Amino acid sequence: MQQNRSQVTERDGLFELEAGSDVLDSPRYNHDMAPTKVRERTWNKWHITALWIGMSVCVPTYTLGGVLTAYFGLTVGEALMAILLANVIVLIPLTLNAFPGTKYGIPFPVLLRSSFGVLGSNVPCLIRALVACGWFGIQTMFGGLAIHLFLGSIFDGWKSLGGTGEVIGFMIFWSLNLWVVIRGAESIKWLETLSAPLLVAVGIGLLVWAMPNVSMTELLAIPPKRPEGASVVSYFAAGLTAMVGFWATLSLNIPDFSRYAKSQKDQILGQIFGLPLTMFLFASLGVVMTAASVKLVGVTVSDPVSLIGHIQSPMWVALAMALIIIATLSTNTAANIVSPTNDFQNIAPKVINRTKAVLLTGFVGLALMAHELLKKLGLIVSDVSLETVYSNWLLGYSSLLGPIAGIMVVDYFLIKKQQLDLAGLYRDDVYPAWNWAGFTAFGVPVVLTLLSLGSDVFSWFYSYGWFTGSALGGVIYYGLCSMRSSPSVVKSSV
C-alpha cells in the first residue's frame, strides 16, 4: 500500500527520500528527477577524476593557450599560468555547489528551486541549457569531422565526399551522443572511466611526436601581443576571467553528477585530482603541438583534428581519429547533454522524461548548427563560421552566469544552513513558486555587466564579469534574504 506522506531518512550524512503520494502525484516530480537512493551513489573519487579527465581533454581545451596568446596578449608562460590558476579558482564553486547534490541526491534544477522558486528555477535552468546546447553542437562538429577523417583513412572513396562526408559524420556522432545519455548515468560513468586512460595515452603520444620539433626555450621567449611596456595585470586578469568562464556552467550544474558520489570526500578529491592538472597539461600540449605543426606538416595548425588529418599514414590517422572521437564523446555527453536533459525535464516533469529531454537537447543543438551544416552541403554560401561565432558568444554568455553560482552557494550554506526540505522541493507547498530575491540578485549584476560595456570607467566590471557577478549576486541575495521577517532555514523532514 502506498504511503500518503513522504519520509526522509539519513545514512552516514546522505539523505534519502521514500516518496509518498504527496510527491509521486506532484507535477514537480518524475523518476529521472527524483533524488538518487544511497545505493545508487556509486561514484568514487576515481570515477569523478575520470569524469573530469574525460571532460577536460577536448579540442576547445587544446586551443586555450592559443586563445590567450592571440586575443588576450599573454606570453605562453602567462597563458598556461592563467589556465592553471583559473581552474584552481573554479574548483571553489564547483566543490561547494556539489555538496547539496551529494547530500540529498538531487540534480541542479531541483536544487535551484530553493533559491529561485519551484517555477522560477526554470529561468536559470533554460539559460544554462541554451549554453550547453550550443556547446553540444560545436563539439559534435569536431566529432563529426573526426569520424569523416577516420572513414577517409579506411575507405579511399570516402574522401571524395568532402563536406557531405562531414555532415554524415556529424549525424553519426550526434546519434552516438544521444544513445549514451539515454542509457543513463552508469553508461556515462563507464564511458568516462574507460576513456580517461586512453586520453592520457594519446596526449603522451602527441607530445612524443611533437617535442623533437619545438624548442621550449624559444616558445616561452616569444614576446606577448600587447603594447610594449603595458602592465601584464589587466591582460592577465581578463584572460583569467575568460578561463574561469570555461567551466562556469559546470560550476552550476555539478549536482547533476555529484548526486551519484559515494561521499563528500569522494566528490571533493575527485574534482581536485581531475580538473586543474588535466586542463593545464592538455592546454600545454596544445601550445606545443601548434608551435611544432609548422615543422610537422608545413603549416600552423591550431586544432588537433586538422593536424592529425595531415599525417600521411592512414593507419596512424585512423587510430588517432578513433581516440579523438572517444575524447569528444566523453566530453560532449557529460558536459553538454546531461545538464539540458535535466533542465528541460524541470519544465514539466510529468510530460518530459529523460528520453524526450535528450532528444530535445539533440534537436536544439542540431538547429544551432544548421547554418554550418547547410554550408558544408553546399546549399548556402557564407563567409561566417558559426563555430567561431558561437564559441565567442558562448564564452561571453557563460561569464554572465556568475551571479547564479554566488546565489546557489549563499542560499545553501548561509541562508539554509545546509538544511533543505527534500520532499518539499518536489511539492508546491514549502518553497515559493517564484523567489524574487534570487531574481533580483541575478538581474542586478547582469544589468550592471551589460551597462559596463559602454563605459570606459566601469569596463573592469565586464572584464572581470564572473568574479564581480558571483560576488555581487551572493551579497545581494544574502542581504535580501536577511531582511525577510520569516525564518530562512527550512528543516529537513525526517
Q: How far apart are CA 455 and CA 145, in angstroms?
A: 41
Query: Quick one: pLDDT band at residue 358, thresholds 50, 70, 90?
Result: very high
362 near 425, Cβ under 8 Å? no
Name every residue whose Cβ is closer than 8 Å to that of residue 248 and which is 6 or more positions away in sequence.
Answer: 90, 398, 399, 401, 402, 405, 466
pLDDT at 115: 97
- Span 195-213, pLDDT tens digits: 888 778 878 887 887 888 8
pLDDT at 494: 40
Query: Quick one: pLDDT band at residue 388, thresholds 50, 70, 90?
Result: low
* Residue in the block written with cell 581552474: 87
pTM of the model: 0.88
CB contact burial 260-291 (16+ within 10 A = b; e otherwise): bbbbbebbbbbbbbbbbbbbbbbbbbbbbbbb
180 near 188, Cβ under 8 Å? yes
Give me the mean pLDDT over the 271-292 stretch: 88
pLDDT at 295: 79
Could you give the dihedral angle defined by the CA atoms of residues 296, 283, 206 and 376, in that order, rounded to the nearest 10 degrees?
A: -70
pLDDT at residue 371 greater than cutoff 80 = yes
pLDDT at 382: 74
Query: Quick one: pLDDT band at residue 393, thresholds 50, 70, 90?
Result: low
Query: Quick one: pLDDT band at residue 310, thresholds 50, 70, 90?
Result: confident
Domains of the chain are 41-395 (1.10.4160.10)
pLDDT at residue 387 greater than cutoff 70 = no
pLDDT at residue 488 greater than cutoff 50 = no
97 near 409, Cβ under 8 Å? yes
C-alpha cell at 464: 572581470
Q: Which of 146-155, 214-223, 474-483 has the lowest mean pLDDT?
A: 214-223
Q: Which of 61-70, 221-230, 258-267, 380-389 has the lowest mean pLDDT?
A: 380-389
Phi, psi of 167 (to 5 degrees): -65, -40
- Span 313-342, pLDDT tens digits: 778 778 778 888 888 888 889 889 999 999
What length is written for the chain? 494
pLDDT at residue 107 greater than cutoff 80 = yes
Higher pLDDT, 484 or 446: 446
> What percent of the chain shows pLDDT beyond 90?
48
pLDDT at 256: 96
pLDDT at residue 249 greater than cutoff 70 = yes
Phi, psi of 10 (to 5 degrees): -120, 135
Give me the mean pLDDT over the 56-72 stretch: 82
pLDDT at residue 419 greater than cutoff 90 = yes
Q: What one-character DSSP code corresponds to residue 493?
A: P
pLDDT at residue 418 greater than cutoff 50 = yes
